[in-house]
Amino acid sequence: MTTSVSVQDEATVLTVAGEVDLATAPALETAIETTLAAAPTALIIDLSQVSFLASAGMAALVAAHQRAGGSTRIAVVADGPATSRQLRMTNLDQVFAVHSTLAEAVAALRAH
């Protein structure tokens, strides 16, 4: 699993690629913590390049949501059976704004 951080409009984008499982979820949590430490107004976690999302990865997303509190809005980009289906099945799509593309997520955050 790899992560990279960029800024698009007003949002910080954390792009995740590869498999997010029990072994790699701690690295994802660290990347999210580091990104949130900069106190961005909006964080988009882009999972569109993730090929496998285990429950440990979903737990990292929940922890990010809790850590962000009300100061940072979080959106998730998830498209396809490896990510969006799991988020819907666990009702995490009710916790996060889930978008199919990065462009959609950026536009939705801009509208708020």
pLDDT band per the 50, 70, 90 thresholds, residue 20: very high
CATH number of the domain within which 12 lies: 3.30.750.24
- 15: Cα within 13 Å, side-chain hemisphere: 10
pLDDT band per the 50, 70, 90 thresholds, residue 71: confident
User: Lowest-pLDDT range, 45-49, 59-63, 68-72, 105-109?
Assistant: 68-72
Across residues 65-70, what is the average pLDDT?
88
- The whole model's pTM is what? 0.94
Residue 6 belongs to what domain range? 2-111
Task: Dig out the tokens for 59 from the structure.
Answer: 């737990």
Give pLDDT, residue 110: 84
pLDDT exceeds cutoff 90 at 9: no
Counting beta carbons within 10 angstroms of the beta carbon of residue 112, is it exposed (0 to 12), middle (13 to 18) or buried (19 or more)? exposed
Number of domains the chain is built from: 1
